[in-house]
């Protein structure tokens, strides 16, 4: 596989693992500048960025994700070097909603297509490519109602659910439908993190007046992962006033989150009240039939002839929609490298090689066994994890155990609190949120999580 093909495959995976807003802002305007071979198993990969600011952001926040994708696709250990090489980047630079370079937009064939480029919606996330079943039909119906009567049906649509259940797809689909009807409508699509970053940049450059004018006049505001602003005082303050201004202007707001407003313990009460005043819809994980349908839709969109038995095999192993698409990308890469048809044997082999997927095969492991395995991994006694001591390393191990119980084994918050010595469920929520927020920032934590997860499922599964 040549460098361009390798980088396209890497970017395809990164696009699945990050929000559309963050991907378009930071990862899309990058290029693979060169590869230097160290030996048969190691190489140095140079990645080009558009500016020193983008270089520092991508290296600090996405090094681990990029390396993981490169290691898997190249089947080598990669060391990454980031440089500034403007001429290597073919896509226009995007610095975020507040500082978009309006003069750099590509020419398009219609006002709608131009609006989609400007707002940075994902082009394949439309209603026609959204598979509907009993797990998401209510969310789909609500999204259609909002798209057809923005600002009238529900001034706020709040979609919540786990990773890869279709929240971002529906949000993008709403944006597409509204822009198709009214391409010039004042719109911003961003993540909660990007909203906060824009606010910080505006404060630092003394452009808060322009920031407020830009956001508060919106008629359509689409925000992914709104839970990110919880606990950030300045961002919550500004979002509160932005929210009120848009609603008073009869605009439409759509928010997505991985938890309910009442579960965001660091969210201000006045914002929680606003969020609870809209239409809140829970999207459940897709069932087997829906996962199979999603795979077929994604495969057709990529021009892949995916046999039904292969689609069913994949759907039987992977529950997350985002991971389904990610696995499809990896399968395509293998097929292109070998120039062979897709077979059940090839698929089974690839599923077996993918440690992240095999680790997720669900089996019941008692919570106390999880605590034992995590304690052993971090060199503590199980009693210490369940106790009251709060040294830094001990607290991290305790939080990791709570995170695994909640995210991987789906144990209830109160049950987790009980096995940890009668702790309150809000303490467990805080621990899970802490680990969730640290994962994108810490390569060390990601490696520790991978190691401890393998240990829990390998050793704990034998004893269960």
CATH code, 405: 1.10.1750.10
With pLDDT > 90 as the criterion, what percentage of the chain qualifies? 37
**459 in any annotated domain:** yes
Mean pLDDT of 89-95: 46
Closest CA to 68 of 421, 456, 446, 449: 446
Residues 42 and 148 in one domain: no
**296 in any annotated domain:** no
- Asked if the model's pLDDT at residue 94 lies above 70, the reply is no
Residues 127 and 227 in one domain: yes
Least confident of 14-18, 213-217, 315-319, 389-393: 14-18
Closest CA to 29 of 53, 5, 1, 45: 53
**293 in any annotated domain:** no
Residues 161 and 134 in one domain: yes
- Asked if the model's pLDDT at residue 254 lies above 60, the reply is yes
pLDDT at 103: 33
Q: Which residues pair with 220 in a beta bridge?
A: 187, 252
Residues 378 and 354 in one domain: no
pLDDT at 96: 41
- Asked if the model's pLDDT at residue 109 lies above 70, the reply is no
Q: Which residue is listed with tokens 């929000």? A: 19
Residues 114 and 205 in one domain: yes
pLDDT at 52: 81
Tell me which range, 137-141, 238-242, 307-311, is most confidently predicted by mean pLDDT: 238-242
Structure tokens at 184: 């010039």
Number of domains, the chain: 4
- Asked if the model's pLDDT at residue 222 lies above 70, the reply is yes
Q: Identify the domain boundary among 282, 315, 336.
A: 282
Give 459's pLDDT tier (boundaries 50, 70, 90): low
**289 in any annotated domain:** no
Residues 80 and 52 in one domain: yes
Residues 122 and 140 in one domain: yes
Mean pLDDT of 42-70: 86
Q: Identify the domain boundary among 88, 115, 137.
A: 88
Mean pLDDT of 116-145: 89
- Asked if the model's pLDDT at residue 285 lies above 60, the reply is yes
- Asked if the model's pLDDT at residue 389 lies above 50, the reply is yes
Give 292's pLDDT tier (boundaries 50, 70, 90): confident
pLDDT at 150: 93
The full DSSP string for 287-339 is -HHHHHHHHHHHHHHTT----HHHHHHHHHH---HHHHHHHHHHHHHHHHHHT
**288 in any annotated domain:** no
Give 99's pLDDT tier (boundaries 50, 70, 90): very low
- The overall average pLDDT reported for the chain is 83
What's the CA gap between 332 and 26, in Å, rounded? 25
**292 in any annotated domain:** no
Domain that holds residue 162: 98-282
Residues 269 and 215 in one domain: yes
pLDDT at 296: 87
**Residue 104 phi, psi dihedral angles, 5° rounding:** -100, 5
pLDDT at 90: 62
Residues 306 and 339 in one domain: yes
18-50 pLDDT, tens digit per residue, is 766 677 778 888 999 899 988 888 899 999 988
Q: Which residues pair with 48 in a beta bridge?
A: 31, 83
**290 in any annotated domain:** no
Sign of CA pseudo-dihedral 96, 97, 100, 104: positive
- Asked if the model's pLDDT at residue 102 lies above 80, the reply is no
* pTM over cut 0.85: no
pLDDT at 218: 95
pLDDT at 337: 66
Residues 255 and 340 in one domain: no
What's the CA gap between 458 and 452, in Å, rounded? 10
CATH code, 196: 3.40.50.300
Q: Identify the domain boundary among 282, 311, 329.
A: 282
**378 in any annotated domain:** yes
Residues 129 and 252 in one domain: yes
Residues 392 and 411 in one domain: yes
* Residue 455, Ramachandran bin (φ over 0: left; ψ between -120 and 50: alpha; else beta): alpha
């Amino acid at each position: 596989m040549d460098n361009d093909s390798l980088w396209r495959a890497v970017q395809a995976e990164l696009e699945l693992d990050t929000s559309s807003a963050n991907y378009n802002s930071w990862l899309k305007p990058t290029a693979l500048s060169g590869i230097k071979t160290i030996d048969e198993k190691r190489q140095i990969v140079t990645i080009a960025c558009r500016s020193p600011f983008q270089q520092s952001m991508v290296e600090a926040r996405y090094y681990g994700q990029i390396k993981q994708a490169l290691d898997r696709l190249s089947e080598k250990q990669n060391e990454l070097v980031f440089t500034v090489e403007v001429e290597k980047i073919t896509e226009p630079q995007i610095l975020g909603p507040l500082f978009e370079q309006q003069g750099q937009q590509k020419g398009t064939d219609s006002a709608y297509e131009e609006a989609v480029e400007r707002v940075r919606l994902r082009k394949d996330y439309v209603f026609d490519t959204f598979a509907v079943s009993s797990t998401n039909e209510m969310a789909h119906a609500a999204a259609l109602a909002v798209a057809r009567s923005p600002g009238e049906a529900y001034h706020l649509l709040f979609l919540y659910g786990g990773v890869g259940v279709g929240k971002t797809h529906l949000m993008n689909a709403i944006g597409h439908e509204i822009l198709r009807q009214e391409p010039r409508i004042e719109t911003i699509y961003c993540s909660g993190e990007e909203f906060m970053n824009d606010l910080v940049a505006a404060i630092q450059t003394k452009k808060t007046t322009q920031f407020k004018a830009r956001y508060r006049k919106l008629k359509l505001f689409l925000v992914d992962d709104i839970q990110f602003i919880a606990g950030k005082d300045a961002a919550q303050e500004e979002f509160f006033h932005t929210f009120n201004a848009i609603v008073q202007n009869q605009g439409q707001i759509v928010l997505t989150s991985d938890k309910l407003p009442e579960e965001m313990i660091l969210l201000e009460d006045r914002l929680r009240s606003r969020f609870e005043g809209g239409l809140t819809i829970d999207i459940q994980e897709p069932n087997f039939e829906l996962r199979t349908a999603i795979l077929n839709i994604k495969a057709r969109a990529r021009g892949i002839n995916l046999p039904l038995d292969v689609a069913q095999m994949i759907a039987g192993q992977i529950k997350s929609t985002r991971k389904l698409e990610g696995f499809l990308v990896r399968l395509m890469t293998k097929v292109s490298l070998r120039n062979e048809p897709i077979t059940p044997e090839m698929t089974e082999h690839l599923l077996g090689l993918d440690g992240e997927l095999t680790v997720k095969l669900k089996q019941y492991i008692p919570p106390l066994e999880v605590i034992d395995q995590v304690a052993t991994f971090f060199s503590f006694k199980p009693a210490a994890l369940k106790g009251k001591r709060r040294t830094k390393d001990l607290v991290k191990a305790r939080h990791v155990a709570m995170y695994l119980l909640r995210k991987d084994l789906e144990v209830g918050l109160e049950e987790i609190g009980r096995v940890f010595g009668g702790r309150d469920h809000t303490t467990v929520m805080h621990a899970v949120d802490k680990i969730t927020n640290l994962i994108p920032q810490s390569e060390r934590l990601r490696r520790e999580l991978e190691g401890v997860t393998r240990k829990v499922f390998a050793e704990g599964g034998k004893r269960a």
